[in-house]
Amino acid sequence: MDRFYVLLMGFLSVVLVNNFVFTKFLGTCPYLGVSGRIDSAFGMGLAVTFVTALSGTLTWLVDFYILTPLGLEVTRYICYIVIIAGAVQLVEMYVRKFFPSLYDAFGIFLPLISTNCVILGVCLFINIWGTNNLLEVVVLSAGVGIGFTVAICIMAGIREELALADVPKSFKDAPITLITAGILTLAFMGFAGMIK
């Protein structure tokens, strides 16, 4: 029960309190670029969640069982990148073969997200947090993906309304989106302190 509690708190922490988009600014590019419509934002979020969970776990395993015992920490970043690119490719091939309808839904986003900073960010932060338990790593990396999905969907919802608003010409698109995002982070600051 105690362990379950720790996992739940960790999960809530990365989804709400330490949301990667709002507190660490990771994944800002797709956040500003793709979040024009809710359904495409949701597709992107799902794809990212899938890949973060997979690559976060894989990189942790490689780090813990191969790189650290062999003293090869210097090659860490290169290994991470290769693993992420491989995972994205694998997921893309698998989904195309076995779930063609799902592939149609978020297929276009898959190749794009290998250079999404959220993915590499998860791998790096798991390393920085010093997590040393496989279950925790899986829960945290999936949680980061879900936090990203939450953020990008909220933003897409606001932007669908913003499209109708009368914004000064020079503040259209990116500037107003950034300011909206700023106000949104204020709202999410309400969660700060809820969990350490």
* Interaction site with another protein (CB under 8 A): 22-29, 32, 74-78, 81-82, 85, 114-117, 119-121, 124-125, 128, 168-171, 174-179, 181-183, 185-186, 189
Least Å distance between CB 120 and another protein? 5
Residues 6+ apart with CB under 8 A from 52: 118, 119, 122, 141, 142, 144, 145, 148
* Nearer Cβ to another protein (126/139): 126
DSSP 19: -
* Nearer Cβ to another protein (1/183): 183
Whether the CB-CB separation of 143 and 11 falls below 8 Å is answered with yes
Distance (Å, whole) CA 128 – CA 144: 15
Least Å distance between CB 1 and another protein? 33
Least Å distance between CB 137 and another protein? 16
* Nearer Cβ to another protein (8/178): 178
Least Å distance between CB 4 and another protein? 28
**Which among 163, 67, 166, 173 has a CA at the least distance from the CA of 123?**
67
Q: Which two tokens stand for residue 65?
A: 């069982």
* Nearer Cβ to another protein (163/178): 178
Least Å distance between CB 119 and another protein? 8
* Nearer Cβ to another protein (39/173): 173
DSSP 108: T
Least Å distance between CB 72 and another protein? 12
Helices (DSSP H) in the chain: which residue ranges? 2-12, 20-23, 28-33, 38-62, 68-70, 76-98, 100-106, 109-112, 117-129, 134-162, 174-188
Whether the CB-CB separation of 42 and 149 falls below 8 Å is answered with yes
Residue positions counted in the chain:
196
* Nearer Cβ to another protein (99/171): 171
